[in-house]
A and B are shown apart, each in its own frame.
Chain A
């Protein structure tokens, strides 16, 4: 009896060959990638932290934010940056610009080459649906010298209320007692408010100061006094203060007041806004009001205000910090810093011309945080000489809208890791307008748009849910940096991810990782070679074996 004959052997080889070819036809390249943490980009936030220099006296854009609200709404717009110059005494200008009107504008002349100034501005705006709005942080050289800007951010947050007052025209006084520049009256609803005050201030004489304060009339209390002396008379400096008003009921009144230490004090572009914190969720706030001083050299950073909190869920937070800083020695510097979880996210060095000055040190940015404890601090120290002081230091964290990918349709299990060709990704976004249409587009590892969900509607809570079938496209490349991006209904999601951030109507995005399927597959060539080699090996092995014959005697 033959164990196997040539006919069977040949058929076996043919079957193996055909099987190998079929396996090769379904080859998918394997691609292992490292898992990535998910992050979200909040609504209407733009940032550019790199330093940009220019000698141009024409205004240059540093950061631009452009968006199209889906509904008529109020928006809080906040801009922030740090400006300086390559050499001492070279003036630099900065402004927040809407295309036709500067909202705030300052000119800063550093005493020393590494001395810098914060520039922060805000507005509460009434915006129209389906209209595109563009705002720019701009800077320019005054005399054609090399000047710089860095750490520039722009953030727009939709509000339900519009409690704001403004007086943009120039006002002046020689009064050495406080004069009202602007008054905001409103009736509180018993909840908390964020009070923001902003203006450009100057004095006609560079040896005199203009003192500006945010005054809480109802409580007869000063909420921060800024003392500014221009390097050149009439050069405007930045006045910016915010503070949380707690459990405000009945009539409330705030003022921006100003006075001169001598000569003429002037103020322009004055704004006060009361932001109802019921509009946003999970507000965190900390402050340290009294003056703290530090004269120990070499300087070591001293903590001023500290905010520690654990978010209810991971997501994006807008973190804003503001302090008033002073250096007692015109030969010394004060180094102020804003710290996130032990890491500097902004530092500023300031050298005064006038030891009486208390200027603004501020920064605003958006961070993606997980639901563990996080700590934010303001800090300061002297450099080389004198006593550094800091007061009225405040930190606020505001949860922004966010989105995330989930394993389940009930959105209880967040996942940033999925497997190619299997299952469904459940995408969920929060903090959007209610009962409003949006577009959600998905981009794969290569940055190609592979799916769009058009006119999907948010619910009465402002949440949005879509799904993505991971088995739709067998050719999709597994790997990191897959994304789901949310756009307004009127937006045109671009064909590639690279263009998304600059697309009008882009709101936010989530990043996730898609791993290769668990069944390994091989490239066509390797499959063919492996099968061919296997065929030969089997053939040679079978040839070496001798069939056993059983003879039967008849």
Chain B
């Protein structure tokens, strides 16, 4: 590659760097439409219980309120959580074997302002 072309390439890269630096000040990076995401979903079994856990990641671009609705062992739990943009909430739920009715455990996660749940999972516990 000739020196002239390298020089041009170098100048262009510096210009890009300056533009990026300026954008950090004047315009935060946007990744497109916001969304929420579940990670690390898992069902663990021990001698005495089942353990269901997952993380909720907020990519909505703003603070988002969620409701975690759980029906297990004949009981219903509702967990309310408010997650800042880019942050994670970790949820763990224990279901004891000695009090279990051996029926399904259902988890539904709603994001406020959205008609459909962001996640709906049914665990068959036996």
Is B103's CB within 8 Å of the partner chain A? no
B80 touches A525 (CB 8 A): no
B84 touches A448 (CB 8 A): yes
Contact digits for B50-80, partner A, Cβ 8 Å, 1 yes 0 no: 0000010000000001000010000001111
Nearest-neighbour CB distance to chain B for A68, whole angstroms, equals 15
Is B25's CB within 8 Å of the partner chain A? yes
Neighbour of B88 across the interface among A452, A454, A472, CB < 8 A = A472
- The interface residues of chain B lying within 8 Å CB-to-CB of A475 are 84, 86-88
B1 touches A17 (CB 8 A): no
- Compute how far the CA of A525 lies from the CA of B17 in the bound complex, rounded to whole angstroms: 12
Is A6's CB within 8 Å of the partner chain B? yes
Neighbour of A495 across the interface among B1, B6, B55, B82, CB < 8 A = B82
B81 touches A454 (CB 8 A): no
Nearest-neighbour CB distance to chain B for A530, whole angstroms, equals 11
- Compute how far the CA of A455 lies from the CA of B93 in the bound complex, rounded to whole angstroms: 6
Is A445's CB within 8 Å of the partner chain B? no
- The interface residues of chain B lying within 8 Å CB-to-CB of A535 are 14, 17
Contact digits for A422-449, partner B, Cβ 8 Å, 1 yes 0 no: 0000000000000001000000000011
B10 touches A13 (CB 8 A): yes
Given A495-B80, A496-B82: A451 in contact with B89 (beta carbons within 8 A): yes
Q: Across the interface, name the chain A residue whose C-beta is closest to B63.
A: A448
- The interface residues of chain A lying within 8 Å CB-to-CB of B44 are none
We find that the number of chain A residues with CB closer than 8 angstroms to chain B is 36
B10 touches A493 (CB 8 A): no
B21 touches A456 (CB 8 A): no
Q: Across the interface, name the chain A residue whose C-beta is closest to B10.
A: A10
We find that the number of chain B residues with CB closer than 8 angstroms to chain A is 37
B6 touches A453 (CB 8 A): no
A450 touches B88 (CB 8 A): yes
- Compute how far the CA of A454 lies from the CA of B90 in the bound complex, rounded to whole angstroms: 11
User: Which A447-477 residues have C-beta < 8 A from chain B?
Assistant: 448-457, 469, 472-473, 475-476
Given A448-B82, A475-B88, A492-B78: A525 in contact with B21 (beta carbons within 8 A): yes
Neighbour of B94 across the interface among A6, A10, A456, A469, CB < 8 A = A456
Is A529's CB within 8 Å of the partner chain B? yes
- B interface secondary structure, majority: strand
Is B45's CB within 8 Å of the partner chain A? no
Given A7-B6, A13-B13: A473 in contact with B24 (beta carbons within 8 A): no
- The interface residues of chain A lying within 8 Å CB-to-CB of B94 are 437, 453-457
Contact digits for B1-35, partner A, Cβ 8 Å, 1 yes 0 no: 10100110110011001101100110000000000
Is A88's CB within 8 Å of the partner chain B? no
Is B43's CB within 8 Å of the partner chain A? no
Given A10-B10, A492-B80: A528 in contact with B96 (beta carbons within 8 A): no
Is A494's CB within 8 Å of the partner chain B? yes
Is A21's CB within 8 Å of the partner chain B? yes
Is A86's CB within 8 Å of the partner chain B? no
- The interface residues of chain A lying within 8 Å CB-to-CB of B14 are 13, 17, 535
Q: Across the interface, name the chain B residue whose C-beta is closest to A524.
A: B24
- The interface residues of chain B lying within 8 Å CB-to-CB of A453 are 92, 94
Is A297's CB within 8 Å of the partner chain B? no
Is B91's CB within 8 Å of the partner chain A? yes
Neighbour of B79 across the interface among A10, A473, A493, A528, CB < 8 A = A493
Is B38's CB within 8 Å of the partner chain A? no
- Compute how far the CA of A262 lies from the CA of B29 in the bound complex, rounded to whole angstroms: 87
Is B125's CB within 8 Å of the partner chain A? no
B87 touches A476 (CB 8 A): yes
Is A54's CB within 8 Å of the partner chain B? no
Q: Across the interface, name the chain A residue whose C-beta is closest to B52.
A: A454
- Compute how far the CA of A473 lies from the CA of B40 in the bound complex, rounded to whole angstroms: 13
A532 touches B80 (CB 8 A): no
- The interface residues of chain B lying within 8 Å CB-to-CB of A469 are 90
B89 touches A454 (CB 8 A): no
Given A13-B13, A17-B13, A472-B55: A452 in contact with B21 (beta carbons within 8 A): no
- The interface residues of chain A lying within 8 Å CB-to-CB of B81 are 449, 452, 495
B90 touches A6 (CB 8 A): no
B87 touches A450 (CB 8 A): yes
Q: Considering the complex of A and B, which 8 residue pairs feature the smallest CB-CB distances, nearest first? A: A473-B88, A451-B90, A528-B21, A495-B82, A10-B10, A455-B94, A454-B93, A453-B92
Task: List, sorted by A's number, 17 A–B pairs whose CB atoms are closer than 8 Å.
Answer: A7-B6, A10-B10, A14-B10, A448-B83, A450-B88, A452-B89, A454-B91, A457-B94, A475-B88, A492-B78, A492-B79, A493-B79, A494-B80, A495-B80, A525-B25, A529-B21, A535-B17
A-B contact sample (18 more), CB < 8 A, given A452-B79, A494-B80:
A7-B6, A10-B13, A13-B14, A14-B13, A437-B96, A448-B83, A448-B87, A449-B82, A452-B89, A453-B92, A454-B91, A455-B93, A472-B88, A495-B65, A524-B24, A525-B25, A528-B21, A532-B21
Chain A contacts to B: CB under 8 angstroms: 6-7, 10, 13-14, 17, 21, 24, 437, 448-457, 469, 472-473, 475-476, 492-496, 524-525, 528-529, 531-532, 535
Chain B contacts to A: CB under 8 angstroms: 1, 3, 6-7, 9-10, 13-14, 17-18, 20-21, 24-25, 49, 55, 65, 70, 77-84, 86-96
